[in-house]
Structure 1
Amino acid sequence: MKLQTNISFGKEHRPLDYDSKLLLLGSCFVENIGQKLNYYKFREIQNPLGILFHPRAIERLILRAVNEEAFDEKDIFFLNERWHCFEAHSELSNASPELMIEQLNRALRQTSEGLTTASHIVITLGTAWVYRLIETDKLVANCHKVPQKKFLKELLSVNEVTESLEATVALIRSVNPEATIIFTVSPVRHLKDGFTENQRSKAHLIAGLHQIVEPRKKLHYFPSYELVMDELRDYRFFKEDMIHPNDTAVNYIWEKFSGSWIADNAFAVMQEIDKIQKGMAHRPFDPGSEQHKEFLKKLEVLKDRIRDRHPHIEF
């Protein structure tokens, strides 16, 4: 797809190759691009605590990881026959409190590893709307269907977004001074807040974020939100819910991201991996035929070639 564009991507940065390590945190863009990076076998860690929507939730996770502040019984609660944590997505919720805490701390260790070893950290902001639990006066990452009357809903100001991101960057720099940090804003609209409220939220995120973006300090911005809203800007690029970008839109964003951020020498490897992935996904008419057995042998040769150059890659 070729569109006329005035969106700038910039090229003055350390590109991604197969020696790079990535940590991706935040909203849905992480899953979309993370799936592509995973498909092409880049070394990446995605959202160990699940999707995190607002800057304060991401800041809190990074603070906990940097300080090695383990989760314990006081950090979980029981509701609707499952244990939950206000700092994590519901995908980590569990019927067993022991397993819940174990999962949370495993995710925390994974986050800590990613923070200290990543060459690139991608942080995606989804919303500036936050919920404060009245009982504790603390912001939560996820409400877990706790009754709304137990929360106060607040909109982070532009300055509050900036302050949170500055704190996040300082925490990352304290354990990984050389990491390249890529910020982006999710194109997924939070329409449950309302159309006007969603626009206010995205505006606060973008304005607050651009107070800290500075390529010379390895703080970059990738315009995923602008690509969807200003270049694609048509409901045919959305799923049936008219909120989430569809595969065509995700592929378009990936094309722009890879063109801007992936090193030229990585594309040949990506093509080889794509060939292997498609071969593995192939469903033969006759699995026992000599033709298919020969096909599988050739596939293993291709895998071995990739692994000889990049031992970390597994299929």
Structure 2
Amino acid sequence: MQLQTQVAIPRPLFAIEPFQKVLLVGSCFAQNMGKRFSEAQFQTTVNPFGVMYNPGSILHTVQRCTDCPAVAIFTLGTNRVYCWKETGEIADNCKKMPQKLFDEKELTIDQCVSFLNQAIEILKTRNPQVQVVITVSPIRYAKYGFVGSQLSKATLILATHRLLGLHPDCTSYFPAYEIMNDELRDYRFYAPDMLHPTEQAVEYIWEQFSNAYFSPLTHAFLKEWQPLLAALKHKPFDAESTEYKAFIAKTLQDIRVLGEKYGHKIDLSPYGDMGKHHNHDLL
């Protein structure tokens, strides 16, 4: 008996290696994935100019951001855009300004392809070996109505697959939208608003991405890193106890050894005083 419809993920032509530079631009789902990339010790830049929902705004971020990533991940949320009435330019963030200042429009498939193609060409001028992963956010937009949301997602998916034909050597499609809607089509995988995926659902999609895109060396590193990451997140009953201080010292020593093994300084700055002690005293 098969109780789940699984989405096949084609094996990409490249693999993501440990500590590589990764740029994530797109919707809120890009934020969720970016957090996991950062915790996995990739050199991660996530939406440096804020969350970007449409292909035009994703292009704007790539134009403004000077990063030269090995891998870029574009997470497309919608083909709906808000344009300044005075200039006709797409507003990446309306900044809670009056709606009367904007016109709401829908990008066509051709326009989506054009914006994303320009973004890829810019990245290729900075790094000819860049790989671009495109995915469609699984988050639905109730404010458009569910038929409108589906039409928007369909436009993005059609544009994406046309784009893959233009750049077969450096683009791939990761089916986050399809995984959420086909493999995880139970309401237990949705937050109380019935629109956003739960943490468990995001974690499942992350695992599917990791299995498809990470190299054997990356998997080997993460297998060693995960217990140390769990130790860093441990909340002690008594942070001043002798036992906890010994625990910290042992964890930091293990992290130092792991960094030396892979020839890379492990960034612990997000972990407060422990990170400062590691970076300043042990490496």
- Work out whether 1:277 is the aligned partner of 2:263: no
- Correspondence list, 1:1-315, <5 A: 4-63=4-63, 65=64, 111-112=65-66, 114=67, 116=68, 118-214=69-165, 216-308=168-260, 309-315=262-268
Q: CA deviation at 1:183?
A: 0.4
Distance 2:29 2:237 in 1: 37
Amino acid paired to 1:136: T
Q: Is the 8 A contact 2:132 2:171 kept in 1?
A: yes
Amino acid paired to 1:174: T
Q: Is the 8 A contact 2:255 2:266 kept in 1?
A: no
CA distances 1:265-291 after superposition (whole Å, capped 9, x unpaired)? 222321222212211222223334333
CA distances 1:191-213 after superposition (whole Å, capped 9, x unpaired)? 11221211111110001111011
Instruction: Work out the percentage of aligned pairs sharing the same amino acid.
Output: 33
Amino acid paired to 2:130: A
Q: CA deviation at 1:157?
A: 1.1
Distance 1:245 1:3 in 2: 20
Distance 2:8 2:161 in 1: 14
Question: Normalising by the residue count of structure 1, what TM-score does the alignment of the two structures yield?
Answer: 0.79
In structure 1, the partner of 2:281 is: none
In structure 1, the partner of 2:271 is: none
Amino acid paired to 1:219: T
Distance 2:120 2:81 in 1: 20
Amino acid paired to 1:39: E
Query: Which has the larger displacement, 292-301 or 49-58?
Result: 292-301
Distance 1:287 1:140 in 2: 47
Question: Normalising by the residue count of structure 2, what TM-score does the alignment of the two structures yield?
Answer: 0.88
Gaps in structure 1 of 5+ consecutive residues: 66-110
Distance 2:29 2:267 in 1: 24
Query: Which has the larger displacement, 217-226 or 303-312?
Result: 303-312
Distance 2:83 2:185 in 1: 33
Judged with a 3 Å threshold, the aligned counterparts in structure 2 of structure 1 residues 303 and 151 are, in CA distance, closer, same or farther, namely: same
Q: CA deviation at 1:4?
A: 4.1
Gaps in structure 2 of 5+ consecutive residues: 269-283
Q: RMSD in angstroms over aligned alpha carbons?
A: 1.8
CA distances 1:13-70 after superposition (whole Å, capped 9, x unpaired)? 221121421111111221111111111211111110011010011112323x3xxxxx
Q: Is the 8 A contact 1:3 1:231 kept in 2?
A: no
Describe the SS at the equivalent of 1:225. helix
